[in-house]
Amino acid sequence: MKKAIIYGVTGQDGSYLSELLLSKGYIVYGIARRTSTNNNTRIKHLLIQKQFHLIQGDVTDPTSIFRTLNEVQPDEVYNLAAQSHVGTSFNQPTLTWNITAQGCLNILEVIRQMANRPRFYQASSSEMFGDQFSLDRNGDKYQDEKTRFSPQSPYAIAKLAGHSAVSLYRRSYDLYACGGILFNHESERRGERFVTRKVSRYVADFYWATQQGRSIPNLKLGNLHVQRDWGHAEDYVKAMWMMLQQDSPKDYVIATGNTYSIEDMVKEAFQCININEYEKYVEIDDSLKRPSEVPYLKGSPKKAKKELGWEESITFEQLISRMVENDIQSRCEYGKAVSAP
């Protein structure tokens, strides 16, 4: 029976990856900082499973990593731990670096010194590309494994450092280490500070307000014109696992190959509640615009599809619909709980 360690298990991706590995018969050791173990909403349903173990640990503490990996002796290690909010990284660059870059290096160093080295997955990010892109025969822009990196935020710089460390340790020490360059992937479990969840929650609030004959303040957003390649996290964690099942380690871009603007996403969310004139409910707030914004991201998953056999199964429209419907239902259940005697 295989054993896997997941750093950052309490996050969106950590919860979906845990479910996937458990369904495949793994024993899963989820590692989370002490402060994160108090926020285990996404993995609460897993805590009752005998093959799931939640352990306190921290990627910024090499001693903790050494102790955990040597006690568990895992077959696979997945590093999903990060300060993952791009906007926050401008306000907390040192914290972002310590967790996102140094944390990855700390794990690699421990693995390098182990007699039985586990396979290692590092969660890299499309934000590393910044404003760089490649061109296909028709002149359309995209990013793939050969596109240059040009990070535009402290978060992206830290991710690129971790990604580069994976490549270095793979070459220098013959580690089975992969970097998954994942483009934007969302879900019903997405954190509330991310724009997709901010929009889906607002639309849910708007829906219930109109049902009750109330009005709510407009939705405040920053730059509506940036374009992103959005998929569902449930699909993307499958690619993480697939990367560690190959004969040799490689880095892969995981994306849908489609791109939509923030405005497209807002429009799609409002259409879930049959509102077409969404513009009157949206307000631009310049304070929400980032100091440096990546304007366009569109990944090419050709390599992953060819070599891993990976395919996305949830469309952009289905993703947004699921998020809105989930938030509408959650608001309904919350309202019932509040009004209950």
Taking the CA atoms of 60, 86, 302 and 147 in sequence, report the sign of the dihedral they define.
Answer: negative
Report pLDDT for 336. Answer: 44
The CA distance from 251 to 246, in Å, is 11
Query: What integer best gives the mean pLDDT of the chain?
Result: 93
Report pLDDT for 36. Answer: 54
pTM: 0.93
Lookup result for tokens 């500070």: 193
User: Model confidence over 120-176: pLDDT tens digits?
Assistant: 999 999 999 999 999 999 999 999 999 999 999 999 999 999 999 999 999 999 999
Are 183 and 307 spatial neighbours (Cβ–Cβ below 8 Å)? no
Within a 10 A sphere around the Cβ of 330, how many other Cβ atoms? Answer: 13
Identify the band that residue 334 occupies on the pLDDT scale cut at 50, 70 and 90: low
Identify the band that residue 35 occupies on the pLDDT scale cut at 50, 70 and 90: low
Which structural domains are found in the chain, ordered by start? 3-187+233-254 (3.40.50.720), 195-226+260-297+314-339 (3.90.25.10)
User: Model confidence over 46-78: pLDDT tens digits?
Assistant: 999 999 999 999 999 999 999 999 999 999 999
Identify the band that residue 331 occupies on the pLDDT scale cut at 50, 70 and 90: confident
User: By mean pLDDT, which of 67-76, 225-234, 235-244, 288-297 is the weakest?
Assistant: 288-297
Percent of the chain with pLDDT over 70: 96
Identify the band that residue 88 occupies on the pLDDT scale cut at 50, 70 and 90: confident
User: Model confidence over 283-323: pLDDT tens digits?
Assistant: 998 888 877 788 899 999 999 999 999 999 999 999 999 99
User: By mean pLDDT, which of 79-88, 90-99, 279-288, 329-338 is the weakest?
Assistant: 329-338
Percent of the chain with pLDDT over 90: 85
